[in-house]
Amino acid sequence: MDRKRKHLIRLGAGVAAGLGAAAIAWTGIAANAEPVDTKGDFEAQIIGGGDVAEGQYPWLVGLGSPGEGTAYERQFCGGTVIAEDVVLTAAHCVEESAAADLVVFSGAIDLESEDVVETAVADLHVAEDYNDPIAMANDWALLKLAEPVDVEPIALGTEVEEFDALETAGWGDTGEGFPTTAQWVEVPFVSDADCEAAYPDEVDAASMLCAGDLENGGVDSCQGDSGGPIMSPAGEDQVLVGIVSWGYGCAEAGNPGVYGEVAEFDETIEAVLAGWE
Ligand code: ARG
């Protein structure tokens, strides 16, 4: 399973490079990231969402590989700016990488835009307890940027809370391919008990939280969104509640999206940041 997961993180780049649907079908845990049509005529985006407006989530960034090509062609995961020179992402996005293998794209929600700012990564911290106590537990990593980005950071969630609905965003699969403009969608919160029932023995309720429309499906994050944010609903003090991590397929009824639960490791994150100052 872990070997297959590793491929997921390259999927965004792979598809942009023209591998297309065959690559999607080959990605292991989310093997069936096929267009998900639950309600007939909904428009598939992130899955089931719409374009992020410029400025809607200033802290949303793309994570990619350095080199030639547009940001769109090199992006493979999402990330969230939590300090002027620090990005929080998923451990599974970067566990095989060195800092020099990574760049961050900020400044525009359209990855083909000339306004995209590319920033090198100077240092990398992968959660020491990633995959402990079970696979995908504590799926978080921090990127120290080579220079600050001109982006408003989002505050970390510090309390384990129940919500009605959350918002997630990224450049991942919409069910109809990979968008150049980031997509966002509102997703119902799923309780630990319901999530454990959906995925017996695969949920570490302490470090994971779940969201999705259990009954109908249709809204979710998907391949390529990993590492990006799930946030409390828009408002004055929107906080980062989680990190896109995994799911079976995308937007399937009964199979919610699973997210790293920031309030479980916010203090560990702060300690790493303090060590970087
Ligand atoms: N692991 C995927 C990635 O690397 C994210 C999958 C999220 N899946 C879901 N059904 N919410 O991009």
Q: Give pLDDT tens digits for 49-106.
A: 999 999 999 999 999 999 999 999 999 999 999 999 999 999 999 999 999 999 999 9
Q: Residue 45: inside a domain, yes or no?
A: no
Q: Residue 48: inside a domain, yes or no?
A: no
Own/partner pairs, 2-7, CB within 8 angstroms, 24+ separation: 2/131, 2/135, 3/28, 4/28, 4/29, 5/29, 5/92, 5/136, 5/246, 6/92, 6/95, 6/96
The per-residue pLDDT for range 146-202, each reduced to its tens digit, is 999 999 999 999 999 999 999 999 999 999 999 999 999 999 999 999 999 999 999
Both 76 and 204 in one domain: the answer is no
Q: What is the pLDDT at residue 135? A: 98
Number of domains in the chain: 2
Q: Residue 52: inside a domain, yes or no?
A: no
The per-residue pLDDT for range 241-264, each reduced to its tens digit, is 999 999 999 999 999 999 999 999
CATH of the domain at 213: 2.40.10.10
Binding site membership of 246 for ligand 1 (Cβ less than 6 Å): yes
Q: Residue 42: inside a domain, yes or no?
A: no
Both 175 and 227 in one domain: the answer is yes
Both 191 and 216 in one domain: the answer is yes
Both 129 and 169 in one domain: the answer is no
**Segments forming the whole domain that contains residue 188:** 155-263
Q: Residue 216: inside a domain, yes or no?
A: yes
92 Cα–ligand 1 center, Å:
10
Q: What is the pLDDT at residue 227? A: 98
Both 148 and 192 in one domain: the answer is no
Atom of ligand 1 nearest to the CA of 248: 10
Both 149 and 243 in one domain: the answer is no
The per-residue pLDDT for range 188-242, each reduced to its tens digit, is 999 999 999 999 999 999 999 999 999 999 999 999 999 999 999 988 789 999 9
Both 258 and 269 in one domain: the answer is no
Atom of ligand 1 nearest to the CA of 172: 12
Residue 6 has pLDDT above 90, yes or no: no
